[in-house]
Amino acid sequence: MRSANGLIPRPSPERPYRLEGTRPGESPHQTLFISCTETQIAPTRFVSRPEQLFELRNIGNIVPPYNPKVVSGAIATIDYALSLTNLRDVVIAGHSGCGAVAALLNQTSNRVSPSLRRWLVVGSSRVACEDAVGTRASGAIGKEALDRAAQAHLLTQLAHLAQYPELESGQNSGRLRLRALFHRAESSTTEVYSPRDDSFKPLAREGSGRRR
């Protein structure tokens, strides 16, 4: 509902706005979703209620290693989200054909700016990506190898995320669930990482199985 001047009216102290199902002072956000800025990995495709998302998107879906002394928008955003009362799921998502990983491995024809190179270093995944490719040569690599590197990069960020104190305590108490998703744009399919098997498996459709 809009006011006479076309603007959304300010909430009054007597009747503050809130989403259905939340109590005063509570956050509606139930899922922290960390992903790349690529349009193919739109977070809203994975949830039934987009208003429950708390999003962090950056190039390369990078999670800086936890360090409270470092001034970082990503660290601050994750730390804040993990403190939200209703948060239940933490998801980090990567995708096939990742341009950030291609830039990291010098596999792109696009100009890579100094600021982007410094940002990619924050992800600390170059060695893991090179190991996934199976070579540290400077020549061109195939699409499948690049996607393996993108998965290795994703798992490195997952490991960084698991080190955040609030997440670690939330997992230990059973309040929070952590997952890594890998989306393949060419087939419009999504895989979820299984720590038990150390592999990516097809993501079950919502309601088709138990919460894992």
Residue pair 78/32 in contact by the 8 Å Cβ criterion: yes
Burial (Cβ within 10 Å: 0-12, 13-18, ≥19) of residue 7: exposed
Q: Is 98 within any annotated ligand binding site?
A: yes
Q: Is 36 within any annotated ligand binding site?
A: yes
Torsion of CA 104, 107, 111, 114, to 10 degrees: 20
Token pair for 162: 């698991």
Q: Is 129 within any annotated ligand binding site?
A: no
Token pair for 167: 């997440």
Question: Which of 37, 43, 45, 66 is CA-nearest to residue 55?
Answer: 43
Residue pair 192/199 in contact by the 8 Å Cβ criterion: no
Annotated binding site: 36, 95, 98
Annotated binding site for Zn(2+): 36, 95, 98
